[in-house]
Amino acid sequence: MANPIELIPLLVVVLLLVGVQGGTVESMEIITDGTHSVGEIPDVYVVGGGTVTIPANTTVSGDVYVIGGTADVQGTIDGDVTQLSGNLTFASSAVVAGDVQYIAGALDIADGATLESFTTAETLAAQSSSPASSLAFKVAQTLGLALAAALLVRRFEFAFATVGRAVTAHPVVSGVVGLLVATTTLALVVFMAMTIILIPVSVLGVGVGGLTVAYGYLVYGYLVGRRVPVDRPDVSTAVGVVLFAVVLELLGTLPLVGSAVQLGLLVVSLGAILVTYFGLREFEPVSLLT
């Protein structure tokens, strides 16, 4: 049985990839354990655990995602293959008519295997951006967030202030709430997606979650901006967003510790947003009677 803690985040990635690629997905199957020799697959076939073999002289139609376990391709796949983790083997008799994308995991391609298109994470990164364009994108993204923060603070400063007070005065409560909600929501999104018909709802949930995370990001910019010697809240918040972006970049250079701090900031802001009803109500912790 695949480890659900490792499987769920990768399933979310698969759902996002399926949503981004568009098209009609009428059926989906996720394999988490056991040994399977398949002669046909649904529109989306996810190998998350166990061992799956597509035998020689067999043709299946659909997109295959490998996020765990072992997939042994000996026959023909009329679709795309994406590997995010796990083990993937293409025998010499294997044929893939679509694109093969390798992100991570153990991959073995035998001589004679016919892959119509093969790209790796490095290839995709090189195709998508050069260092200069990546830096330009980050600068433009930060400036865009700074502008958005300035405009929002002009209109809704009270909400930013309310969430900010929850972050600074109640970081533990906010962090616990944020962590619980993040983990349960993540699991709920994945389980909704398994029903196929609720994939649009799960994608919508991911979008709402992304906006909430962005809101928390701007709140940190507001808090940093309050310590900048600028009188106008909108301008100081914009400056704070830029400074906070620099701090996050510096944290990203620290292995493990930097990621842990970034995750902590994320869950605390998420919890603060929720306990204050997105900044509409002041958070007052429950007092225990003595």
Residues 250-270 have a mean pLDDT of 87
Q: Tell me, yes or no, whether 10 and 119 share the same domain.
A: yes
Q: How confident is the model at residue 75 (pLDDT cuts 50, 70, 90)?
A: very high
Q: Tell me, yes or no, whether 65 and 144 share the same domain.
A: no
Q: Tell me, yes or no, whether 78 and 184 share the same domain.
A: no
88: part of which helix (H) or strand (E)? strand 87-90
Instruction: Say if 153 falls within a structural domain.
Output: yes
Instruction: Say if 286 falls within a structural domain.
Output: no
Indicate the residue among 126, 143, 164 that finishes a domain: 126
Q: Tell me, yes or no, whether 120 and 141 share the same domain.
A: no
Instruction: Say if 64 falls within a structural domain.
Output: yes
Determine the pLDDT at residue 230: 84
Count of Cβ atoms closer than 10 Å to residue 204 Cβ? 14
Q: How confident is the model at residue 242 (pLDDT cuts 50, 70, 90)?
A: very high
Least confident of 125-134, 171-180, 213-222, 232-241: 125-134
Q: Tell me, yes or no, whether 87 and 138 share the same domain.
A: no
Q: Tell me, yes or no, whether 75 and 144 share the same domain.
A: no
Q: Tell me, yes or no, whether 13 and 58 share the same domain.
A: yes
Residues 47-68 have a mean pLDDT of 90
Q: How confident is the model at residue 260 (pLDDT cuts 50, 70, 90)?
A: confident
Tally of structural domains, the chain: 2
Q: Tell me, yes or no, whether 117 and 203 share the same domain.
A: no
Q: Tell me, yes or no, whether 272 and 137 share the same domain.
A: yes
Q: Tell me, yes or no, whether 103 and 239 share the same domain.
A: no
With a cut of 70, say whether residue 262 has pLDDT above it: yes
d(CA 187, CA 114): 37
Indicate the residue among 126, 152, 171 that finishes a domain: 126
Q: Tell me, yes or no, whether 211 and 113 share the same domain.
A: no
Instruction: Say if 183 falls within a structural domain.
Output: yes
Determine the pLDDT at residue 163: 94
Percent of the chain with pLDDT over 70: 82
* Top-confidence residue, 15 or 104: 104
137: part of which helix (H) or strand (E)? helix 131-169
Determine the pLDDT at residue 9: 64
Indicate the residue among 60, 94, 126 that finishes a domain: 126
Dump pLDDT digits (tens) for 104-124. Answer: 888 999 999 999 888 886 666
Q: pTM for the complete prediction?
A: 0.61
Q: Which structural domain range is residue 224 located in?
A: 129-277
What the block records as the tokens of 177 is 């709430």
Per-chain mean pLDDT for the chain: 84
CB 71 within 8 A of CB 34: no
Residues 15-35 have a mean pLDDT of 73
